[in-house]
Amino acid sequence: MAKKERPIKGAPTARDYKGDVNPDWCPGCGDFGVLASLQSAYAELGRGSHDHLTVSGIGCSSNLPGFIRTYGMHTLHGRSLAVATGAKMANHELNVVVTGGDGDGYGIGGNHFIHTMRKNIDLLYIVMNNETYGLTVGQASPTTVVGEKTYSTPFGNIETPLNPVAMAIVSGATYVARAFSSERKQLTELMINGMQHKGFAFIDVISPCITWKGDEIFDYWKERVNMLEDHDTSDKAAALEQAVKTGHDTQLGLFYHDTNSQSLDQMEPVLENGPMAHQQMGVTPEQGDAIIKRMM
Amino acid sequence: MAKKERPIKGAPTARDYKGDVNPDWCPGCGDFGVLASLQSAYAELGRGSHDHLTVSGIGCSSNLPGFIRTYGMHTLHGRSLAVATGAKMANHELNVVVTGGDGDGYGIGGNHFIHTMRKNIDLLYIVMNNETYGLTVGQASPTTVVGEKTYSTPFGNIETPLNPVAMAIVSGATYVARAFSSERKQLTELMINGMQHKGFAFIDVISPCITWKGDEIFDYWKERVNMLEDHDTSDKAAALEQAVKTGHDTQLGLFYHDTNSQSLDQMEPVLENGPMAHQQMGVTPEQGDAIIKRMM
Amino acid sequence: MAKYDFVVAVGGAPGQGIDTFGISLGKICARYGLHVSTYSAYQSLIRGGHTFLTIRISSEPVANHGDEIDLIIALDKNSVEKHIENVRPGGAFIYNEDDVKKAPERDDIQLCPIPYKKFSSGIEDRKLQRRALNTCLLGTTLRLVGAELNVLEEIIIQTLLKRKGQEVVDANIMVATAGYEHAVENFTQFDDKFEKQEPALAFVDGNSAMAMGGAAAGVKFYSAYPMSPSTGVLKWMATYARELGIMVRQCEDEISVINMVIGAAHAGCRAMCATSGGGFALMSEAIGSAAMMEIPIVVINVQRGGPSTGLPTKTEQGDLWQLLGASQGDFPKIIVAPINIMDGFHTMPELFNLVDKYQCPGMVLSDLTLGMGFTTFDPASINWQPEIDRGELISELREMDGEYLRFQITDSGISPRAIPGTPGHIHVVATDDHDEDGGLISDEFTNPHKRRDIMEKRQRKMEGIVKLLPPPTLEGPEDADVTLIGWGSTHGVISEASQMLNGDGIATNHIHFKWLYPIDEDVVNEVLANAGRSIIVECNYTGQFARFLRGETGFKADGHIRKYDGEPFMPHHIVDGTRELLIGKTELYVPYQEIVV
Amino acid sequence: MAKYDFVVAVGGAPGQGIDTFGISLGKICARYGLHVSTYSAYQSLIRGGHTFLTIRISSEPVANHGDEIDLIIALDKNSVEKHIENVRPGGAFIYNEDDVKKAPERDDIQLCPIPYKKFSSGIEDRKLQRRALNTCLLGTTLRLVGAELNVLEEIIIQTLLKRKGQEVVDANIMVATAGYEHAVENFTQFDDKFEKQEPALAFVDGNSAMAMGGAAAGVKFYSAYPMSPSTGVLKWMATYARELGIMVRQCEDEISVINMVIGAAHAGCRAMCATSGGGFALMSEAIGSAAMMEIPIVVINVQRGGPSTGLPTKTEQGDLWQLLGASQGDFPKIIVAPINIMDGFHTMPELFNLVDKYQCPGMVLSDLTLGMGFTTFDPASINWQPEIDRGELISELREMDGEYLRFQITDSGISPRAIPGTPGHIHVVATDDHDEDGGLISDEFTNPHKRRDIMEKRQRKMEGIVKLLPPPTLEGPEDADVTLIGWGSTHGVISEASQMLNGDGIATNHIHFKWLYPIDEDVVNEVLANAGRSIIVECNYTGQFARFLRGETGFKADGHIRKYDGEPFMPHHIVDGTRELLIGKTELYVPYQEIVV
Ligand SMILES: Cc1ncc(C[n+]2csc(CCOP(=O)(O)OP(=O)(O)O)c2C)c(N)n1
Ligand SMILES: Cc1ncc(C[n+]2csc(CCOP(=O)(O)OP(=O)(O)O)c2C)c(N)n1
Ligand code: SF4
Ligand code: SF4
Ligand SMILES: [Mg+2]
Ligand SMILES: [Mg+2]
């Protein structure tokens, strides 16, 4: 989608981040809320729209970069975090936001998920978790609950779902939250703070799929979510304890925020001279001589 | 390695599980201790040696199946857990043990690691964690500590290592332990209990590489390890708290043991008629007719 | 009886029940003993998507969706606008008159507006009302083609009663009847009408047919990661898992999928998986590992438009080179491309017997046209108990002279294979190269002579395989002026084009390849010796098969017809292309796609 | 000066410092201005491993390890037993006499036992004592070939002083001197001796040469997952990362490696990675994605013995088809196989300019022989500032008429590429197919005409590329009786075999392919028109290049020489094979590997 950069007059608004293409999601899809929040969050951040790069994998949710007015990459299924890491390392002045689905991020992309967090790459990763493979017509995903009948589990799923929030804390993410696509205000705030956080920020967003989960899915979630309160976000063990809690309720909010650790770009000495993409290319004659000398 | 099954007279001993090929590890390698413990554990279990299947990936540690007298598979780098899952699902009467290295299991194999645990496949997974890619001559691995100079990090590693024990607990392993290859007795016991545990049993074994870490590496570990004590292995939150502890000491022992959850083969209805590999193949005429009827 | 050949197409948005329409009409045809071939031009299920399903119905077996559409049913306004021009003159167009402000204008066809709101006003549940539209228009359709309404009623009961209940059944029957009756009163029937013929047929899609073939071949383990257009195989397997005793596992990614298949196959099950191009790319490393460990597996690649994520809902024959090149190094492997939907069924036991015998990976190259297309078949043509030959498989203790050598060097290259759990045959299989007893060549010692021996042992299996694979088929006159050459899924459409050319006085024959690798140069060249002016027809840009065939046999075709716009060939594309090529202005003809969805 | 040509080989266990021996001797030769080519037959570093390093030294440029060994140095007992027969008659054999109970028996060579224990008894540190053995025997070696000891001393200081300290330096110099002096007194020098020539050369391995070429080409991002035999590229990059300002990242797997490269390249860096066969298989999906998103990347595959994990420490040219078939569908790509070590250096900027211009993936096919082999080169022959042409890259706001279309349809197929961060050019790149402005064809709408246009746009780039790629080279007489045809790393050995055949009166020329894909059929056939009786020489089982070449050009060779035992060709293998093939008993000759490690 070509999205001619609109001249922004005055403070940017969410409208300035609207793409030229209308979202092709089913009416009522939870992803609309995430898109709207992200547009607000970008606007709030106040940088030029060309300073953002929105990277996704493949899935309904991963179509998002097409609907937003920033640079975008719609990469391979499961590979968004690796591509985004490469882009961030090449130009750490870009604000790189990664969006995708639970299948994309926790299924096929699981290895990049844990290792990108371990390395504390300075990204905001937003997963639209609808507990299904939406685009491929509703198979069980790594977050599908036990017992659920799906395209691939006609007699009910027998595999325990994974816990993205707990996984993120353990893996080394330094900003870990859960949100709900219908709780737009909280979601937007978490996004803004996540973009401002220097390090890996992760938001697991409950973003229901009405097509494969049925119309009642929003009510199901509205009835269960409640806000994480009286919680010390700097305490890792406490965050984990909250994260592994099971039961009827699902907590929303910021679970963990590590403000001490440095992100990889902050620790990488070769970035001292500015973004790689803008540094001098090649080898100077002096450098070349020094190299050759060691070979003689 | 062809390993003619030796007739076992009386109770089997570790010797009965010795392969025909001598380990090709560097003298002093930590993996010797793991091999010896595994041979003892197999013997202790008392089943026929052909009832075991030892599966590995690629790496120094992954050469282990060649040195042990059971059925063995030396699969692709990082893929042992997936192959082992397939074998277990095909014949759940086999005792399937998976062995490998930290690079194999936590690096390239990371996605299978978390998902095999999530599904609570009935395997024993032993990782010989030497905090390096031994076979490829000593690059940083996902467990290499910050600051370490390696082949790939000549100026010191800047990436935070991952925490296998915490990761395992969060991912859904139901038996999670850490051991040290020099603490043979504890290791053997953990292996036996792990094999007997119905579900995914995981042992992260500190198994030092003297070639890339230097001769002092054993002393380094001996000085740090101590036993996990006064710990309730059925308490997940407590196990996690122990697991995420940082500092000078490294705890050995069983962190978490969930005796309630069922393993996937126990929950899978198609296994009610015995191992897949021995069930009747094909479609009976009656079944065929029933299928066709739905297509008419 | 004169040949009956009629094409119906139905357009609408996802969620409007196009599939249901297609399956119901297909089953009705099947009950009439009429043959069907369908093609669905669709998009991923998200808003704005549009589907256009073509259903060709014939008194004779048919394997493409034809050139012309006799009757179109538009389920939404969009379809009215998009497809009004796609009906052949003299055809008919059925639509919901509530959808359109101004009736479509075409005076060379019969326009059949249906007052659906009126017919369905009795349905209180709004959603149900919306969803029953397709059944109403199907009622109208049946009348136009001269089929009986009660067959539809039976099918409504069969498919909906248990899942949806009486209310839904009643509503559907009510609107179907209204649609039918309205046609009786207002519209003219087509001259050619449905006539029952024996036997009654069954109706199946290509992915299910392959799954069924796998089940018949004795598959006991199936793993998958969803990927269009292959997911139907998973669906069939998951649906029948319990009934047939098949272990079905959905995995975290395609790498896991194939490695599980390898593990399950090693432990003694016939095991397979299906994916599409990108998933296959991820599997490619493990293909070589199966060959090295000499474990028989079957991998199905249902091709879609590439490159990369490409066109998930469109067709292509673009993965041939990917399969030929999958994984590093040289190793035994078999590649087969079923030539039509039911051939997908028959191929599976054939292939499983081969891979079991030769202990190597087998790859099936299907595509979206085949995998997601539907056909009818005679239930009697299905052999549910094909021969199952597991080759030299050892699962019990036995007398041996000397040690068991898993990779024993033999003349055939085949070494008896013991499965874990078998007493007396303990061994290790490895992806590192190894000697006869499995000892590693690479790490522990590296002996070029042993390596050469074991490499030659493995590759000798190819000599056995190539002898067992049937040669390409030759249809039509032996000495024709024109020879159309194709592979895999295009058999039906090329076959028909060839008949049309012959009908037009251009003597044409048709050589078709199903077994693609290994190729026996001499045998194939013997068949190709029958070629007249040769034209290779394939559904990709670079002529993947043409380049491969030339490399293996030296055969260079005189011309090429290629399509790479995502839509499958229609017979006239090939007929027109052949004419153009005969004029000789060009060596490559790329048909223009007239129907745009 | 007469041509000097001398082959030294050293055998021992890992940890005994064979590499050090090789690098020191190589550097000494380089300082003498002598040319060197090395081949190391080795195994993975674990106990029981054995390494045999062959170092050919010549007054003229040389690019293979030769046929005969003049002098062998055995660092352990194992090597004494294994290699005593490998010295040519008249050669010499140096060994540590403490190692052997009974002196080796050969009276046609000079045996040179060294009393190492005695020489090194002054070294107190046992480990140091053990490790200095190679230096001692190198001292002896230098005397036998007529080189001066002080050059070695300089090198010991250069390489050891900073890293290991004075004590280690002193110990090494001491034993080197003892070894040298002992030879002065006890052994006879070879007749042909080292003579200094100008210019002094530098000494480098193939992986480093490619890394250097990448750095010179302006690579700013390098990611890797370790895999033999490609890991040397990572090592060089990691070593020089800070000095040259290159971002080097080790990843969790090869999938991550290539996807990071794609991300970095999209954000504006020249980016590359290196791996071997199995790692490349994992990367294959992303190759197609780079082509679809039109992002220029470079991937190096340093081939090793396959299939699967195969022979990690052995060589093969077995991945050609893997590269040809990597990823589903058809897309623009470039495959190049450097013909010798320094060509690896020069190839990188050439390839980067091409992929930047055509915005597509470039693949480099090296192999173990090249990647882990060493050569000497004239520092003046290195261009550290090659032309860097980034093609149509936009990184600043500019005047435009109308909208920026990332995938603008142009005659060349090239569309100007803006990098993220550039004002005024916001766009999305996608692995789904798309139209000119990046809008998705597949999911949102599916238009066969747009698809065809964009597919043709992409593929038009191939027409531009193929015109820029140099044709295969022809060396030797134009009208020869025999033509040897090779590709990639075998250039040096085929070239020498061709000269030998000419010397023996068999008029031979040599056609060599470096740029493998795309191939211009007409241009290549013009070169091949010079072929006499043609023989394709390659290092794999199925004749991957022969089959590919025939497919692209129709050219069928008269005979084939193939090797697939893990060891590289020696010149006489090709000479012998050519003679056999000329007799005409066979079409395929597979040389016997005489030297077994
Ligand atoms: C390698 C590969 N495997 C499979 C697919 C098919 N595929 C496309 S989207 C998708 C699932 C998407 O699920 P999720 O990421 O949860 O996104 P959602 O559609 O639910 O938003 C799959 C499996 C693919 N494109 N590539
Ligand atoms: C796909 C693939 N990538 C890379 C390699 C190369 N490789 C072989 S062993 C190894 C690392 C092994 O490390 P680890 O698993 O920790 O085992 P260790 O040798 O330390 O015991 C690597 C990267 C490979 N064989 N396959
Ligand atoms: S299928 Fe589900 S996830 Fe996809 S767009 Fe529709 S509602 Fe959203
Ligand atoms: S390199 Fe390290 S891990 Fe490998 S065998 Fe030697 S000591 Fe063990
Ligand atoms: Mg999802
Ligand atoms: Mg390790």
pLDDT (tens digit per residue) in B106-155: 999 999 999 999 999 999 999 999 999 999 999 999 999 999 999 999 99
- The answer to whether the Cα torsion of C164, C167, C170, C175 is positive or negative is negative
D595 within domain boundaries: no
**B131 CB less than 6 Å from ligand 2?**
no
Residues 438-467 of D with CB under 8 A from A: 438-440, 443-444
**List of chain C residues whose C-beta atoms are within 8 Å of the C-beta of residue B66:** 428, 430, 438-440, 444
**List of chain A residues whose C-beta atoms are within 8 Å of the C-beta of residue B268:** 158
Indicate the pLDDT class of residue B7, thresholds 50, 70 and 90. Answer: low
Question: What atom in ligand 4 is closest to the CA of residue B30?
Answer: 8
pLDDT (tens digit per residue) in A112-147: 999 999 999 999 999 999 999 999 999 999 999 999
The reply to whether D215 and D276 lie within a common domain is yes
| Mean pLDDT computed over D280-307 | 98
Beta bridge partners of residue A202, listed in sequence order: A125, A176
The reply to whether C359 and C310 lie within a common domain is yes
Radius of gyration of chain A (CA): 20
Nearest CA in chain D to B156: D238
| Mean pLDDT computed over C571-583 | 97
| Mean pLDDT computed over C322-350 | 98
pLDDT at D530: 87
Instruction: Give the Cα separation of D556 and D552 in Å (integer).
Output: 11
| Mean pLDDT computed over B52-77 | 97
Question: Exposed/middle/buried for C579, CB within 10 Å: 0-12, 13-18, 19+?
Answer: middle
Instruction: Give the Cα separation of B90 and D527 in Å (integer).
Output: 56
Indicate the pLDDT class of residue D42, thresholds 50, 70 and 90. Answer: confident
Residues contacting C462, CB < 8 A, separation 6+ = C332, C413, C518
Percent of chain A having pLDDT more than 90? 93
Nearest CA in chain C to B60: C443
Q: Has residue A277 got a pLDDT over 90? A: yes
Instruction: Give the Cα separation of D80 and C30 in Å (integer).
Output: 80
Query: What range defines the domain where residue D417 resides?
Result: 393-468
Q: Has residue B2 got a pLDDT over 50? A: no
How many Cβ atoms sit within 10 Å of the Cβ of residue C78? 15
Q: Which helix (H) or strand (E) element contains residue C23?
A: helix C18-31
3-class SS at C451?
Answer: helix
Say what the pTM is.
Answer: 0.98
Supply D532's token pair: 């006499």
pLDDT at A1: 42
Percent of chain C having pLDDT more than 90? 93
Question: What atom in ligand 3 is closest to the CA of residue A30?
Answer: 8
Question: Exposed/middle/buried for A223, CB within 10 Å: 0-12, 13-18, 19+?
Answer: exposed
> Cβ separation of A74 and D430 shorter than 8 Å?
yes
Question: Which CATH number goes with the domain that contains C325?
Answer: 3.40.50.970
Residues contacting C436, CB < 8 A, separation 6+ = B2, C405, C406, C407, C408, C409, C415, C454
pLDDT at A2: 46
**B29 CB less than 6 Å from ligand 4?**
yes
User: Using CB atoms, which chains have 3+ pairs under 8 A with D?
Assistant: A, B, C
Residues contacting D506, CB < 8 A, separation 6+ = D481, D482, D578, D579, D582
Residues 189-228 of D with CB under 8 A from A: 200-204, 212, 215-218, 220-221, 223
| Mean pLDDT computed over C329-354 | 98
User: Domain-by-domain residue ranges, chain A?
Assistant: 14-295
| Mean pLDDT computed over A208-233 | 96
pLDDT at B1: 42
pLDDT (tens digit per residue) in B185-213: 999 999 999 999 999 999 999 999 999 99
Nearest beta carbon to residue C444 from set B2, B24, B50: B24
Chain D touched by C335 (CB under 8 Å):
no
Chain B touched by D44 (CB under 8 Å):
yes
Chain centre to alpha carbon of residue C274: 12
Domain ends where: C349, C381, C413?
Answer: C381
- Cβ distance C303 to C313 under 8 Å? no
Question: Exposed/middle/buried for C502, CB within 10 Å: 0-12, 13-18, 19+?
Answer: middle
pLDDT at D1: 54
Ligand nearest to the CA of B59: 2
Domain ends where: D200, D219, D238?
Answer: D200
The reply to whether C94 and C225 lie within a common domain is no
Residues contacting C583, CB < 8 A, separation 6+ = none
The reply to whether C463 and C491 lie within a common domain is no
D349 within domain boundaries: yes
Strands D417-418, D87-96: pairing kind: unpaired
Q: Has residue C196 got a pLDDT over 50? A: yes
pLDDT at C441: 78
Number of domains observed in the structure of chain C: 4
Q: Has residue D401 got a pLDDT over 90? A: no
pLDDT at B103: 98
**B58 CB less than 6 Å from ligand 2?**
yes
The reply to whether D180 and D304 lie within a common domain is no
Q: Has residue C48 got a pLDDT over 90? A: no
3-class SS at D137?
Answer: helix
Ligand nearest to the CA of B134: 2
Q: Has residue C100 got a pLDDT over 80? A: yes
pLDDT (tens digit per residue) in D162-184: 999 999 999 999 999 999 999 99
| Mean pLDDT computed over D294-306 | 98
Residues contacting D296, CB < 8 A, separation 6+ = D265, D270, D290, D352, D355, D356, D358, D359, D360, D361, D362, D391
Domain ends where: D468, D488, D515?
Answer: D468
Residues 521-550 of C with CB under 8 A from D: 540-542, 544, 547-550
Chain C touched by D292 (CB under 8 Å):
yes
Round the average pLDDT of chain B to a whole number and report it: 95
| Mean pLDDT computed over C152-171 | 94
- Cβ distance A202 to B205 under 8 Å? no
Chain B touched by C101 (CB under 8 Å):
no
Indicate the pLDDT class of residue D62, thresholds 50, 70 and 90. Answer: very high
- ipTM of this complex > 0.90? yes
pLDDT (tens digit per residue) in D234-280: 999 999 999 999 999 999 999 999 999 999 999 999 999 999 999 99
pLDDT at C44: 66
Strands (E), D13-151: 35-41, 51-58, 69-74, 87-96, 110-114
- Cβ distance C201 to C377 under 8 Å? yes
Round the average pLDDT of chain C to a whole number and report it: 96
Q: Has residue B22 got a pLDDT over 80? A: yes
Q: Has residue C257 got a pLDDT over 90? A: yes
Ligand nearest to the CA of B75: 2
pLDDT at C45: 58
Q: Has residue A257 got a pLDDT over 90? A: yes
Phi and psi torsions of C516, nearest 5°:
-100, -30
pLDDT (tens digit per residue) in A57-70: 999 999 999 999 99
Instruction: Give the Cα separation of C364 and C384 in Å (integer).
Output: 20
| Mean pLDDT computed over D27-40 | 97
Radius of gyration of chain D (CA): 26
Chain B touched by C419 (CB under 8 Å):
yes
- The architecture in CATH of the region B14-295 reads 3-Layer(aba) Sandwich (3.40)
C312 within domain boundaries: yes
The reply to whether C192 and C337 lie within a common domain is no
Mutate to test the interface with C, among D303, D321, D446, D560 (most CBs of C within 10 A): D446
Beta bridge partners of residue C92, listed in sequence order: C71, C110
Reduce the secondary structure of D194-237 to three states and give it as a string. Answer: CCCCCCCCEEEEHHHHHHHHHHHHCEEEEEECCCCCCHHHHHHH
The reply to whether C477 and C363 lie within a common domain is no
pLDDT at A120: 98
Instruction: Give the Cα separation of B61 and B40 in Å (integer).
Output: 18
**List of chain A residues whose C-beta atoms are within 8 Å of the C-beta of residue D429:** 72-74
Which amino acid, residue D37? S
- Cβ distance A40 to A60 under 8 Å? no
Phi and psi torsions of D538, nearest 5°:
-155, 160
Is the previous residue joined to D470 through a cis bond, with omega within 30 degrees of 0? Answer: no
> Cβ separation of B1 and C427 shorter than 8 Å?
yes
The reply to whether C209 and C227 lie within a common domain is yes
Question: Exposed/middle/buried for B196, CB within 10 Å: 0-12, 13-18, 19+?
Answer: middle
pLDDT (tens digit per residue) in D521-574: 999 999 999 899 999 999 999 999 999 999 999 999 999 999 999 999 999 999
Residues of A engaging C, defined by a Cβ cutoff of 8 Å: 22-27, 58, 60, 63, 76-78, 103, 107-108, 110, 133, 135-137, 139-140, 142, 151-155, 211
pLDDT at C50: 87
